């Protein structure tokens, strides 16, 4: 039985490896000898409906344009639009490669010198119709003189970098361009970078990049028919996109020639970029004059499939989803725990409503949430009494703003995390001096990953039920349990290719905290120990926008176990009109959560990958300081600043704030701020006069170009 298992594992492993490293499949050959003579360069328009081939017949340069009835397919429905000879041959003798600028209004053709001593150069023509060389302008052509037998050229995605392959020196040179796709002002003797490790007794006849700039492929054509290294494609990995100084050669190569195909020399290379690079093309310019079309097992899979786990932005995006989901538990529990801490510090107060500011937001979900629970100061006609009113509900709210960053690692890009949230809750005290309540939280996290524009927008709605109960005179146990619904919009930008997706998630969490207060005069020291538990399930989703480059992500489950130990120090200081209570908190957190993994695959072919050990155990320190201000006339203010510092290279800064006013004369005031572009403000004044309710409201738009203000008076009575 064990032998059978071993054989089974070997077979499965072999199949997986075969799948990952499957070679390109030769699809079709298209003969172009009648149009261009010796073909040297090939490219497509962005939609794949046009194909362009450069070449020469003797010393007569030419470019042929073909229409394709099926995008990127040379198998059928190929027709010749035009074979441009006169305009090309008048300037260039032996064209080697062809490119367009970003909008197709210009065509650039690279040429090497011919046997009659003509020049190496890049010539640029304007086109009357984008990507239509039949509208080429014979006037206004510009030319940049080069040297060292150039055989290919390419640009980065925005045309600000140009690369030239030189056969004489066996190297690729990189230049920065002042104007995109315009090499007129470069100094060809001063390249920014040079890749000089192109070795071997072969002609280097072309090269090309992946759309994100992390891969480069170089064509090596046979110099002599008896070479042992014939017509191969080499793959280079770049650690920084489109920076050839960071390039290193892949160990594997792909040989395009088989024994049955006879003499061959290959040139030119391109991909079907707009359809996910699941095809590639090269030219045969020896015995046969062909455009050769291949199907790829995966995007850019000439040598092997591009492994998304080696892309730092892809890894960073996966890590961010998992990390923010875990942090959501802490971000949700902190305001509730802050509330219970506030109740402890103000247990003798007759007013247990705090942070009673009303927020209004243009976001519909946030607006509905903020109006879900109306603060007690806006609804109650009861006067404040000297004694707490058991059985009455107290209401509270808390806003949070967080700015954080996780630094770059060897495997993952840096992440900037900006968070904002509002929490609204209600609680009541029973006759056993226990306090229980519930809270709603709506939060938004915006995460930028890397420097190419990848980003996540995560929104979460949470419901928490909590309780604080005394375990002695000065000992308390705080506990809570809650659920969250998560929605994440994802954008993955790798240069010219962008994908997006939407992912749902569910979360359940709980927290328990023990604290005991030691008091000396008005100074309180409260050591505490806390345990956070949670489980998050992120749904499966499939990216869109990049055809064969789209990735399908399986469901990801993440467990959370975080232990904390810390202490709070606070003091009460009497002032002329009330009391101020500064507080300091120090906490050590040990994240001992089990590591999670993310399984994903190319949606086009099922080639699968696993990213393991996501967000393994970490440790961080949390420190905060702030104050409570409570005045005799019913005004209260709470604010604090918090710093979370990872033991590694990450941190976040959080600000909590809130305020309230309850008049002892049966008067209430509330100020609201609308988060729209016009910054609408509203002030409410309410007073109970011998059972008659009087309410005065006024509104004003601070930033509106059109005057928008008004006032209302309401009079009510209860019968």
Q: Which of 56-65, 82-91, 431-440 has the lowest mean pLDDT?
A: 431-440
Does the structure show a pLDDT above 80 at 402? no
List, for residues 299-334, the tens digit of each pLDDT value.
788 887 777 777 777 888 888 888 888 888 888 998
- Measured over the CA atoms of residue 130, residue 217, residue 163 and residue 491, the dihedral's sign is positive
Give the number of other CB atoms < 10 A from CB of residue 233: 23
CA distance 340 to 464: 13
Which pLDDT value is given to residue 115?
58
Work out the average pLDDT over 43-50: 94
> Which secondary structure element, helix H or strand E, spans residue 168, and what is its range?
none
List, for residues 445-490, the tens digit of each pLDDT value.
888 888 778 888 999 999 999 998 887 777 889 999 999 999 999 8
For residue 3, give every residue at least 6 positions away whose Cβ sits within 8 Å of its Cβ, in sequence order, or none.
none
List, for residues 8-35, the tens digit of each pLDDT value.
333 333 333 333 446 788 999 999 999 9
Q: Which of 99-108, 280-289, 389-398, 463-472 has the lowest mean pLDDT?
A: 389-398
Which pLDDT value is given to residue 378?
32
CA distance 625 to 616: 29
Using DSSP's 3-state secondary structure scheme, residue 199 falls into: coil
List, for residues 76-117, the tens digit of each pLDDT value.
899 999 999 988 988 888 999 999 999 999 999 999 986 556
CA distance 623 to 654: 10
Nearest CA to 626 out of 324, 354, 348 is that of 354
Contact 136, 152 (CB under 8 A): no
Task: Provide the token pair at 464.
Answer: 């928490």
E strands, 137-227, where? 142-145, 150-155, 161-166, 171-176, 193-195, 202-209, 215-222
Predicted TM-score of the model (pTM): 0.58
CA distance 493 to 495: 6
Work out the average pLDDT over 35-44: 94
User: Which of 151-165, 236-250, 369-383, 442-456 shows the highest mean pLDDT?
Assistant: 151-165
Nearest CA to 46 out of 209, 273, 270, 212 is that of 273
For residue 172, give every residue at least 6 positions away whose Cβ sits within 8 Å of its Cβ, in sequence order, or none.
163, 164, 165, 166, 194, 195, 198, 207, 218, 244
Full strand arrangement of the beta sheet holding 541-542: 541-542, 551-553, 596-602, 608-614
CA distance 667 to 687: 4
Percent of the chain scoring above 90 in pLDDT: 32
Nearest CA to 74 out of 251, 281, 213, 244 is that of 281
């Amino acid at each position: 039985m064990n032998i059978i298992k071993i054989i089974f594992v070997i077979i499965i492993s072999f199949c997986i490896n075969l799948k990952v490293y499957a070679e390109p499949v030769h699809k079709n050959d298209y003969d172009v000898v009648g149009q261009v003579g010796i073909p040297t360069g090939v490219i497509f328009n962005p939609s794949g409906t046009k194909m362009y081939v450069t070449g020469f017949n003797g010393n007569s340069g030419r470019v042929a344009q073909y229409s394709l009835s099926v995008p990127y397919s040379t198998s059928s429905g190929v027709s010749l639009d035009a074979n441009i000879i006169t305009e090309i041959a008048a300037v260039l003798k032996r064209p080697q490669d062809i490119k367009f600028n970003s909008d197709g209004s210009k065509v650039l053709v690279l040429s090497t010198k011919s046997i009659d001593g003509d020049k190496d150069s890049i010539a640029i023509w304007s086109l009357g119709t984008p990507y239509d060389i039949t509208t080429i302008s014979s006037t206004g052509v510009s030319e940049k003189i080069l040297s060292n037998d150039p055989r290919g050229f390419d640009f980065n995605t925005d045309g600000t970098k140009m690369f030239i392959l030189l056969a004489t020196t066996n190297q690729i040179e990189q230049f920065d361009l002042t104007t995109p796709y315009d090499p007129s002002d470069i100094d060809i003797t001063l390249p920014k970078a040079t890749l000089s490790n192109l070795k071997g007794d072969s002609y280097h006849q072309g090269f090309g990049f992946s759309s994100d700039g992390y891969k480069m492929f170089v064509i090596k054509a046979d110099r002599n028919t008896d070479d042992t290294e014939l017509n191969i494609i080499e793959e280079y990995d770049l650690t920084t996109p489109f920076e050839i100084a960071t390039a290193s050669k892949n160990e594997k190569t792909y040989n395009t020639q088989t024994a049955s195909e006879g003499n061959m020399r290959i040139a030119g290379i391109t991909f079907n970029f707009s359809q996910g690079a699941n095809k590639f093309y090269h030219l045969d310019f020896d015995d046969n004059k062909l455009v050769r079309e291949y199907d790829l097992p995966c995007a850019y899979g000439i040598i092997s499939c591009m492994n998304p786990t080696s892309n730092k932005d892809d890894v960073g995006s996966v890590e961010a989803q998992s990390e923010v989901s875990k942090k959501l538990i802490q971000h949700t529990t902190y305001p509730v725990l802050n509330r219970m801490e506030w109740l402890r510090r103000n247990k003798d107060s007759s007013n247990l409503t705090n942070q009673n500011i009303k927020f209004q937001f243009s976001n519909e979900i946030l607006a509905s949430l903020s109006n879900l629970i109306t603060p007690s100061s806006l609804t109650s006609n009861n006067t404040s009494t000297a004694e707490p009113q058991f059985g009455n509900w107290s209401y509270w709210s808390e806003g949070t703003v967080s700015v954080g960053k996780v630094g770059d690692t060897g495997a993952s890009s840096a992440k900037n995390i900006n968070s904002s949230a509002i929490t609204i809750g209600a609680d009541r005290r029973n006759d056993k001096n226990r306090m229980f309540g519930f809270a709603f939280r709506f939060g938004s996290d915006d995460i930028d990953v890397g420097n190419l524009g990848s980003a996540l927008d995560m929104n979460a709605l949470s419901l928490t039920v909590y309780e604080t109960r005394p375990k002695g005179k000065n000992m308390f146990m705080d506990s809570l349990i809650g659920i969250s619904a998560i929605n994440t919009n994802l954008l993955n930008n790798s240069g010219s290719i962008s994908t997006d997706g939407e992912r749902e998630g569910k979360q359940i969490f709980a927290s328990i905290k023990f604290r005991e207060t030691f008091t000396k005069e008005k100074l309180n020291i409260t050591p505490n120990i806390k345990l956070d538990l949670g489980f998050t399930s992120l749904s499966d989703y499939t990216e869109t926008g990049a055809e064969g480059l789209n990735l399908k992500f399986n469901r990801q489950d993440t467990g959370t176990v975080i232990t904390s130990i810390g202490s709070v120090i606070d003091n009460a200081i009497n002032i002329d009109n009330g009391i101020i209570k500064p507080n300091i908190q120090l906490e050590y957190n040990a994240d001992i959560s089990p590591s999670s993994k993310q399984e994903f695959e190319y949606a086009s072919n099922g080639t699968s990958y696993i990213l393991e050990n996501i967000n393994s155990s970490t440790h961080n320190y949390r420190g905060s300081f702030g104050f409570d201000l409570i005045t005799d006339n019913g005004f209260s203010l709470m604010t604090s600043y918090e710093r979370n510092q990872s033991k590694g290279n990450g941190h976040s800064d959080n600000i909590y704030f809130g305020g309230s006013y309850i008049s002892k004369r049966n008067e209430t005031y509330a100020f609201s701020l609308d988060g729209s572009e016009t910054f609408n403000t509203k002030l409410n004044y309410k007073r109970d006069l011998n059972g008659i309710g009087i309410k005065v409201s006024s509104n004003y738009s601070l930033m509106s170009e059109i005057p928008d203000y008004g006032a209302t008076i309401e009079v009510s009575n209860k019968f």
